Structure 1
Amino acid sequence: MKVKNIIPRWKGFNLTNMFLFHSARDFEEEDFKWISDWGFDFVRVPLCYRLWIEDDDIYKINERFLEKIDKVVEWGQKYNIHVSLNFHRAPGYCVNNEFIEKFNLWKDKDALDAFCFHWGVFAKRYKGISSKSLSFNLVNEPLHPSPEVMTRDDHNRVIRYTVEYIRKIDSERLIIIDGISYGNVPLPELSDLNVVQSCRGYLPMGLTHYKANWVGGENWPEPKWPGAWHYGEIWDRERLEKHYDEWAKLISMGIGVHCGEAGAYKFTPHKVVLAWLRDLLEILKERDIGFALWNFKGPFGILDSDREDVDYEDWYGHKLDREMLKLLQEY
């Protein structure tokens, strides 16, 4: 399977009904209909493995919960939307710390065995569904390499082992891997794996995560664009282009690249968000990189974002940011 030949420039959203917590709302078919009607063809579904295990037993699967994910896959096919299943919380690792894992995916064999077991459940369940309709995004945003938690060699070992494990079950499944350093650094050393690599659209952080308490953004300066703050640097479009030039090098090697998450938090002034987002989308399009906005509904999204400086349109009881939607549709 040649990934370059089957990766279109997908554009869409992250559906975050089921991403982090130990309870979840059901997905809604109308979301898929609206996404399709508005001209998008991709949804990324961030998942937490703890939602489908029982009695805190990592190998005991709740079949009824997996049926909720079956619906997502079916609706994707119905509305011609590619569905990418992502382990946002995987056995032994999550970028968020609301739950402390008992082992480390990058160091512990027990964690890697559990990680592969769960991906094996999905690989068996969806074998036969075309990779044009469904992909597996292995683990969300591996962190910065460090000797204590995850070296680059640790990461590469885990990814290689898991890709091989999945392909023994389903050799045709399209697999996506996030870059390291929270999705911001590409992995040319894994170019032989024939997988897609996923970047992020969250730079500069001073703009995209202004007042976000989970990254300490409460004390950052109010953002502007160009000229947004990023950990002591000032970013403009040229600096943003240099960042994605590194990802474009993968494309020149025949490796598919997709931006799996992008967006700005609700406290960034809306005019600043739109100016930055237009530059980001132009840069991605110029490099043939598709995108997915985090999120569809919520504080980064086009529905119910709770921004105070948006003239919302009523959309079946939801608050629609029509201006942002139109911008996304342009690209």
Structure 2
Amino acid sequence: MKRRTFITQSAMTTAALGLAGSQAWATAFQTKNKLPQWRGFNLLDFFSPNPEHSRGGTSADHFEWMRDWGFDFVRIPIAYPYYLDIDRTKDITAEDTYKINLKAVEKIDALVEMAHKFNIHVSLNLHRAPGYCINAGFHEPFNLWKDQAAQDAFYYHWSFWAKRYKSISKEKISFDLLNEPAMREDMNDQLSKSSAVPGELYRKVAKGALDVIHKENPARIVLADGNQVGNNVISELLDLNISQSCRGYMPGIISHYKAPWANKDPEHLPEPKWPGQVGDKYLSRQMLEDYYKPWGELVQKGIGVHCGECGCWNKTPHKVFLAWFGDVLDILNQHKIGFALWEFSGDFGVLNSNRADVVYEDWHGQKLDRELLTLITRHA
């Protein structure tokens, strides 16, 4: 073979291999997520255990704006005591957890129906479930991970919702079982020892809820939040018909800078940068690539994945927030994983976030963070 012919053929072979490699890499991100790539917001209308402290206020205008901006999803994190008929001057008892107040439930129904009028999918989530919440501040009578009575109450609540929305299609509503599970020793002490839930225990509780839901509607989409506060893939659930939900809060020094509920000494933290050296860590896009790699691999295995919460509290410098969040959204998009910003309106929100370093746009009487909206609509 002549040298020139050899070189030409070798170059063509190398190019072909390079193209094949590029195509293989691209294909890795083209595998279809079992879940739709929903994008949207969390709505905190029923976030408080006490209806008197509820924010409420999500209106038809809000849903219209979401739709017109290109979003198709809302997650509704609910504190189960919100819809109980109980004496709120006393600590709740195990028996109280079964006392459902239908008038309160009808308010949840109304929000769900309003979302559906604008073709927005609803994910119903128990942010506080019987015996567990990532936040303390409400006296729980038992521990979801330790007490069968708490697990039975948990199944009861999901059975209730499954029956109530039995006839609504999976395209319109899904169920997110439990917000950010972790094994906290004392459910009523925010600072008590916490760790990941033992995998088989998490499987038992998730499967119990899945069974009562699918008894009513086998097609219902069910999600389980990642273990250890939403961060870790739950390998013990892979053989079950359950999708999984990750988070968009890593690293916490960016997303929860100076947040008093997430830091023991919030006023003495190193100022966040992105990218850059912050304290003893160098923060970079690579750390996000590594963090989301297991979630992308989960998509490749045919398990549905969605990012049920993401965003940043309002004390992080806005430019840092946007630089970091742009990387988060870009990586999620590479893996075909949708997202829900925490929240629509409020300190983490696209509206009324009360940041000191943002020039807000007046939007029908609301304070709109136009830069943030522009960023997230690029991924909607």
Same fold (TM over 0.5): yes
Unaligned runs of 5+ residues in structure 1 are: none
Find the counterpart in structure 1 of residue 99 from structure 2.
Answer: 60
1:116 to 143, 149, 155: 155
- With structure 2 as the length reference, what TM-score do the two structures score? 0.83
**Whole-angstrom distance in 2 between the partners of 1:240 and 1:119:** 34
Work out whether residues 126 and 179 of structure 2, in 8 Å CA contact, stay in contact via their aligned partners in 1.
yes
May I ask how many residue pairs the two structures share in their alignment? 327
AA partner of residue 40 (structure 2) = G
AA partner of residue 178 (structure 2) = V
1:192 deviates by 1.2
> Which residues of 2 match residues 2-81 of structure 1 at below 5 A?
7-23=35-51, 24-26=54-56, 27-55=58-86, 56=92, 57-81=96-120
The alpha-carbon distance between structure 1 residues 145 and 189, as it changes in their structure 2 partners (threshold 3 A), is farther
- Measured against aligned partners, the alpha-carbon deviations of 1:117-145 in whole angstroms (never above 9, x if no partner) come to 11111100000111111000000000158
The alpha-carbon distance between structure 1 residues 175 and 44, as it changes in their structure 2 partners (threshold 3 A), is same
Find the counterpart in structure 1 of residue 362 from structure 2.
Answer: 314
Find the counterpart in structure 1 of residue 6 from structure 2.
Answer: none
- Measured against aligned partners, the alpha-carbon deviations of 1:284-304 in whole angstroms (never above 9, x if no partner) come to 101111011001011111100
2:182 corresponds to 1:143? yes
- Secondary structure, aligned partner of 1:319: strand
1:41 deviates by 0.5
Find the counterpart in structure 2 of residue 288 from structure 1.
Answer: 336
Work out whether residues 163 and 175 of structure 1, in 8 Å CA contact, stay in contact via their aligned partners in 2.
yes
Q: How much identity, in percent, do the aligned residues show?
A: 50
Work out whether residues 20 and 88 of structure 1, in 8 Å CA contact, stay in contact via their aligned partners in 2.
no
The alpha-carbon distance between structure 1 residues 194 and 323, as it changes in their structure 2 partners (threshold 3 A), is same
AA partner of residue 169 (structure 1) = E
1:228 deviates by 5.9
**Whole-angstrom distance in 2 between the partners of 1:144 and 1:43:** 27
1:21 deviates by 3.4
- Secondary structure, aligned partner of 2:150: helix
**Whole-angstrom distance in 1 between the partners of 2:333 and 2:255:** 20
More deviation, 87-96/18-27: 18-27
Find the counterpart in structure 2 of residue 270 from structure 1.
Answer: 318
More deviation, 267-276/161-170: 161-170
- Measured against aligned partners, the alpha-carbon deviations of 1:178-215 in whole angstroms (never above 9, x if no partner) come to 00111000012211112110000001110111110001
Find the counterpart in structure 2 of residue 323 from structure 1.
Answer: 371
2:170 corresponds to 1:131? yes
Unaligned runs of 5+ residues in structure 2 are: 1-31, 87-91, 186-192
AA partner of residue 235 (structure 2) = P
Find the counterpart in structure 2 of residue 201 from structure 1.
Answer: 248
AA partner of residue 154 (structure 1) = L
| Structure whose alpha-carbon radius of gyration is higher | 2
Work out whether residues 200 and 236 of structure 2, in 8 Å CA contact, stay in contact via their aligned partners in 1.
no
> Which residues of 2 match residues 210-221 of structure 1 at below 5 A?
210-216=257-263, 217-221=266-270
1:34 deviates by 1.2
Find the counterpart in structure 2 of residue 224 from structure 1.
Answer: 273
1:218 deviates by 3.0
**Whole-angstrom distance in 2 between the partners of 1:198 and 1:148:** 20
Work out whether residues 33 and 299 of structure 2, in 8 Å CA contact, stay in contact via their aligned partners in 1.
no
**Whole-angstrom distance in 2 between the partners of 1:100 and 1:93:** 10
Kindly report the root-mean-square deviation, in angstroms, between the aligned alpha carbons of the 2 structures.
1.8
